């Protein structure tokens, strides 16, 4: 009996071992079938940053003038030189004055004669009026009055001719109408000039000088919303990066924005003025315009983590185990980062991995990467 019991015990032990092995195998197989995906993510933290938006601009003078003669004649003197700094009223070119002085002298003589005739006519007319109707006829009085009025008109015309002759003489001296720098001067004494001839020289104002750049219509609307009085970029700095790579040392000041949108670019031209005492800024040269500002409570998103298309900018985020395609608003740039004022949710993380197709039922495990590690 004891031997039989031992056999049954051995058999039972074998059965239990087999069953135990089968159960263990089944658990291991299920573990293999369970899908786990580790996502590298970063926290979305608000920051205070200083940013600069960069635009391409060109330099243009605030004032410029091309000097053309108002009278004809031969050039008698040339005082202007290329590159010369001039003030308003400086003498630049003299046209031969002899003809115009003679015309002025003749006009003055005509005025003197007209004054004498007017005095005689006035005296005669007054005498006739005092004589009365009994001494003279009405027709004689009318004739004296007409002679007086005619002499008065002749005097006025003579004075006008004198003023015209004086103006023409003044035109023989060409003066600087603005302060600035003279361009190339290609004039020689003896050249004949006339009102219809080419400009004799040009003057460009260099201090201050103006820089023109374009912002998008969206940026314009954002700025005008913040500054409804039209004084855009209030509280922001406007600076220049020169072709040499140097930052221009003097800050700019917003002047005005254009009154229309450029259709083919959907942009608005902006004008800013800069002091230019050393003439570092030359008209028609190109510069980078940097508009800097301080932003509070914004997020920085590395550009290669975002997707841009016609519908806007998007990033992949995860919140409470759910992956979302989240749109965000770009308000500026800082190095390789977009700056956004879009508000993200609590415990929402930025996914920094490239996402492919994720099978249904996959368990997601988050690996929170610190910014320093992400940089490496």
Residue pLDDT, tens place only, 38-55 = 888 999 999 898 888 889
Q: For residue 287, what are its two tokens? A: 């510069």
Q: Which two tokens stand for residue 202?
A: 């040009």
Encode the chain in three state secondary structure: CHHHHHHHHHHHHHHHHHHHHHHHHHHHHHHHHCCEEEEEEEECCCEEEEEEEEEEEEEECCCEEEECCCCCEEEEEECCCCCCEECCCCEEEEECCHHHHHHHHHHHHHHHHHHHHHHHHHHHHHHHHHHCCCCCCHHHHHHHHHHHHHHHHHHHHHHHHHHHHHHHHHHCEEECCCCEEECCCCCCCCCEECCCCCCCEEEECCCCEEEEEEEEHHHHHHHHHHCCCCCCCCCCEEEEECCCCCECCCCEEEEEECCCCECCCCEEEEEEEECCCCCCCCCCCEEEEEEEEEEEEEEEEEHHHEEEECCEEEEEEEECCEEEEEEECEEEEECCEEEECCCCCCCEEEECCCCCCCCCCCEEEEEECCHHHHHC
287-333 pLDDT, tens per residue? 999 998 888 899 999 998 999 988 889 999 998 888 888 999 988 78
pLDDT value, residue 16: 43
Give the chain's mean pLDDT: 86
Which overall architecture, per CATH, does domain 37-50+296-375 show?
Answer: Beta Barrel (2.40)
What b/e sequence results for 37-53 when a residue is b if at least 16 CB atoms lie within 10 Å of its CB, and e otherwise? eebebbebeeeeeebbb
Residue of 294, 299, 369, 291 lying closest to 328 (CA atoms): 299
Please state, in angstroms and rounded to a whole number, the distance separating the CA atoms of residues 243 and 262. 26
Let me know: does 183 contact 64? Beta carbons within 8 Å.
no
Convert 203-215 to b/e letters by CB count within 10 Å (16 or more is b).
Answer: bbbbbbbbbbbbb
11: left (phi over 0), alpha (psi -120 to 50) or beta: alpha
Q: What are the residue ranges spanned by the domains of the chain?
A: 37-50+296-375, 53-62+205-292, 64-96+172-204, 100-168
The CATH number of 64-96+172-204 is which of 3.40.50.620, 3.40.50.300, 2.40.50.100, 2.40.128.120? 2.40.50.100
Q: Is the pLDDT of residue 134 over 90?
A: no
Choosing among 3.40.50, 1.25.40, 1.10.287, 1.10.10, the CATH entry for 100-168 is 1.10.287
pLDDT tier for residue 17 given thresholds of 50, 70 and 90: very low
Provide mean pLDDT across the span 132-158.
85
- Please state which CATH number belongs to domain 53-62+205-292: 2.40.30.170
Window from 82-86, 142-146, 249-253 with minimum mean pLDDT = 142-146
């Amino acid at each position: 009996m004891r031997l039989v019991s031992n056999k049954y015990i051995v058999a039972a032990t074998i059965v239990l071992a087999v069953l135990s092995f089968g159960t263990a195998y089944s658990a291991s197989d299920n573990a293999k079938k369970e899908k786990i995906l580790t996502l590298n993510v970063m926290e979305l933290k608000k920051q205070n940053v200083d940013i600069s938006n960069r635009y391409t601009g060109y330099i243009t003078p605030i004032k410029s003038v091309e000097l053309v003669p108002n009278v004809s004649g031969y050039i008698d003197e040339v005082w202007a030189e290329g590159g010369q700094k001039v003030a308003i009223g400086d003498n630049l070119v003299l046209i031969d004055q002899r003809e115009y002085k003679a015309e002025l002298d003749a006009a003055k003589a005509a005025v003197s004669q007209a004054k004498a005739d007017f005095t005689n006519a006035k005296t005669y007319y007054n005498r006739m009026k005092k004589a009365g109707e009994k001494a003279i006829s009405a027709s004689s009085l009318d004739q004296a009055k007409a002679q007086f009025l005619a002499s008065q008109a002749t005097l006025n015309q003579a004075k006008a001719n004198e003023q015209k002759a004086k103006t023409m003489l003044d035109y023989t001296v060409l003066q600087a109408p603005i302060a600035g720098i003279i361009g190339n001067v290609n004039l020689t004494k003896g050249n004949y000039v006339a009102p219809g001839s080419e400009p004799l020289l040009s003057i460009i104002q260099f201090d201050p000088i103006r820089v023109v750049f374009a912002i998008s219509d969206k940026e314009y609307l954002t700025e005008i919303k913040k500054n409804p009085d039209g004084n855009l970029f209030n509280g922001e700095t406007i600076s220049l990066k020169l072709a040499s790579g140097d930052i221009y040392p003097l800050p700019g000041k917003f002047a005005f924005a254009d009154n229309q949108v450029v259709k083919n670019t959907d942009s608005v031209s902006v004008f800013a003025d800069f002091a230019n005492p050393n003439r570092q800024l030359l008209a028609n040269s190109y510069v980078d315009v940097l508009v800097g500002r301080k932003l509070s409570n914004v997020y920085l998103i590395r550009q290669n983590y975002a997707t841009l298309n016609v519908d806007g900018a998007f990033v992949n985020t995860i919140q409470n185990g759910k992956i979302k395609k989240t749109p965000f608003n770009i308000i500026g740039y800082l190095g390789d980062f977009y700056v956004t004022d879009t508000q993200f949710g609590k415990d929402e993380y930025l996914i920094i991995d490239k996402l492919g197709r994720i099978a249904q039922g996959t368990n997601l495990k988050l690996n929170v990467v610190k910014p320093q590690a992400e940089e490496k």
